[in-house]
Chain A
Amino acid sequence: MFSRFRKKPEARRYLLRVALAMVIYLASLFAAEILIEDQGMSGLPAYLLAALPGISFAAVFWIFARLIIEERDEFLRLLYVRQVMVATGIALTAAAVWGFLETYLPVPHVAAFWWPTIWFFGIGVGAFYNKMTMGSAGECV
């Protein structure tokens, strides 16, 4: 009964990698909050620690690329590529539009880490788009 819900090895690896990246992200975020914000860490270690949440965040791009490379099913590969294109289109459009709004109008500043966050949101939109147009959202949702 549950066999149809069993994930393929590629999808399992993807989910495991995302989970690991998120654990590192949260751990480094908390460490930066405590050591830099609360305890005043400075210098090179502070810069490295402050960069760590962003690097683990960005690991998801590498993880998605690995999924596309490792996926043996050509149709699922197509779905993942379409998903990435939708997400990238949404995130870069949002970044470009808001950048110009900030330049010319008195709108609030948006921290740069929101653009990859919007990319993750776009991955969800891409899965929905695939479901609507191709009949499947793939195996990683």
Chain B
Amino acid sequence: MKNRLRVLRAEREWSQQDLADRLDVSRQSVNAIETGKYDPSLPLAFRIADVFALRIEEIFLREVDAQAAQ
């Protein structure tokens, strides 16, 4: 699943560790989600959405939507 985590984080000038601290997860988790190696659970996806004050679908993109956007 594609996501906009890296862009959203960069807009706020947060490091991966900054975001990890806000989410109460490890920096490795943030890196794995950003690079698409790991899709977060629904509760974690909601926490991510809360941290960025966005809806989940504004952060995580379905494969078909991601392909259409390209």
Whether B32 pairs with A134 at a CB distance below 8 angstroms is yes
Please give the residue numbers on chain A whose beta carbons come within 8 Å of chain B beta carbons, in ascending order.
4, 8, 72-76, 78, 133-136, 138-139
Whether B29 pairs with A75 at a CB distance below 8 angstroms is yes
Q: A135's contact among B24, B31, B40, B41, by CB below 8 Å, is which?
A: B31
Whether B17 pairs with A75 at a CB distance below 8 angstroms is no
Q: For the complex, is B37 an interface residue (Cβ under 8 Å from A)?
A: yes
How many residues on the B side are at the interface (Cβ–Cβ under 8 A)? 16
Q: How far is the CB of B50 from chain A (nearest CB, A)?
A: 16
Chain A: CB-nearest residue to B44: A74
Given A134-B32, A134-B37, A135-B37, also A76-B17 (CB < 8 A): no
Distance in angstroms between the alpha carbons of A75 and B41 in the assembled complex: 9
Q: Which residues of B contact A74 (CB under 8 A)?
A: 25, 29, 40-41, 44
Q: How far is the CB of A141 from chain B (nearest CB, A)?
A: 12
Please give the residue numbers on chain B whose beta carbons come within 8 Å of chain A beta carbons, in ascending order.
17, 24-29, 31-33, 35, 37-38, 40-41, 44
Count of A-B contacts with CB under 8 A?
39
Chain B: CB-nearest residue to A75: B29
Q: Which residues of A contact B35 (CB under 8 A)?
A: 135
Distance in angstroms between the alpha carbons of A138 and B28 in the assembled complex: 8
Q: Which residues of B contact A138 (CB under 8 A)?
A: 28
Q: Which residues of B contact A133 (CB under 8 A)?
A: 37
Chain B: CB-nearest residue to A72: B24
Distance in angstroms between the alpha carbons of A134 and B33 in the assembled complex: 10
Q: Which residues of B contact A78 (CB under 8 A)?
A: 38
Whether A76 pairs with B29 at a CB distance below 8 angstroms is yes
In order of increasing CB-CB distance, the 8 nearest A-B pairs are A75-B29, A136-B28, A73-B26, A73-B25, A134-B37, A75-B38, A75-B32, A74-B41
Distance in angstroms between the alpha carbons of A74 and B28 in the assembled complex: 11
Whether B31 pairs with A136 at a CB distance below 8 angstroms is yes
Q: How far is the CB of A135 from chain B (nearest CB, A)?
A: 6
